[in-house]
Structure 1
Amino acid sequence: MVFERNGFSAVMISVDENRMANAASGMAVNDECKLKFLELKAKRTYRYIIYKIEEKQKQVVVDKVGEPANGYDDFTANLPADECRYAVYDFDFVTEENCQKSRIFFIAWCPDTSRVRSKMIYASSKDRFKRELDGIQIELQATDPTEMGLDVFQSRAN
């Protein structure tokens, strides 16, 4: 319903429409997502974890994991070219002071070629999912591989 007053127009949203918007972002988080993340964070069991949303089950699940020996190229090769994903990457680097460090990156991967509905679901669920993963240090949002190149990781990690 649209109404006008003193030259301003406003849109009223019904309670049902509001409920539907909240339902879209109300994805559950599978327990395995948190357990794998804790293993990556505390034990460094994995180099990366890729998560996907199972729309029919209305939950975020683990899609793939990378062993500690797997590198950045393996990680990017496992991100689908035309589907959205969330990912966590444990990035090792050496500072200018020659200190070995590590940062945990959260990546919201939403390629331009993915379905619009998928982009909307991932965008609306991202903050809630990210809050479930306690210990994320840096967030990246990428629509193509150049937005999450090794140079981007290096510059954001320092």
Structure 2
Amino acid sequence: MANAASGMAVHDDCKLRFLDLKAKRTFRFVVFKIEEKQKQVVVEKVGEPALSYDDFAASLPADECRYAVYDFDFVTAENCQKSKIIFIAWSPDTARVRSKMIYASSKDRFKRELDGIQVELQATDPTEMDIDVIRSRAN
């Protein structure tokens, strides 16, 4: 289903991998990319449950936009173990302008396909999505 505004379809695999992360906890993270030629969002990479947040951050390209979801486990001030699904729109300053525009215009529609996102973050450089930022947004 292409969206009139952005023209981007969402590959079924995106929703399936997201459900695996959300319901089965099969993955720690999923990185999505837009295939401009096919005009659709596809799964680029999945991270095993044992991988750390640093592994996830390192999987995002330094100069290309991506969408990603990360299953963040943390302990609350009341000492409760919790988990939140964080959606990150990664749009580094060094990415091509056209790419940033396509990702920005497709984000809301793509996010609606992924039911269960609890926190959203927009990041243009690694400091905007470092683990302390994630932790404060999750609480």
Structure-1-length-normalised TM-score? 0.85
Matched to 1:41, the amino acid is K
Q: Would you say the 8 A contact 1:24–1:121 is kept in 2?
A: no
For residues 83 and 141 of structure 1, what CA distance do their matches in structure 2 show?
A: 14
Return 5+ residue gaps in structure 1 as ranges: 1-21
2:91 to 79, 104, 110: 110
For residues 49 and 65 of structure 1, what CA distance do their matches in structure 2 show?
A: 4
**CA deviation map 1:29-73 (0-9, x unaligned):** 000000000010000000000000000000000000000000101
**CA deviation map 1:89-129 (0-9, x unaligned):** 00000011111000000000000000000000000000000
Greater length-normalized contact order (CA 8 Å, ≥ 6 residues apart): 2
For residues 123 and 133 of structure 2, what CA distance do their matches in structure 1 show?
A: 11
Identity of aligned residues (%): 82
Structure possessing the higher radius of gyration over alpha carbons? 1
Equivalent positions of 1:21-40 (< 5 A) are: 23=4, 25-40=6-21
Establish whether residue 50 from structure 1 lines up as the match of residue 31 from structure 2.
yes
Residue matched to 1:145: 126
Range moving further from structure 2, 118-127 or 22-31:
22-31
SS at match of 2:95: coil
Matched to 1:119, the amino acid is K
Return 5+ residue gaps in structure 2 as ranges: none
Residue matched to 1:126: 107
Matched to 2:129, the amino acid is M
Q: Which 4+ residue blocks in structure 1 deviate beyond 6 angstroms? A: none
How far 1:26 moved relative to its partner?
2.0
How far 1:139 moved relative to its partner?
0.1
Residue matched to 1:61: 42
Establish whether residue 101 from structure 1 lines up as the match of residue 82 from structure 2.
yes
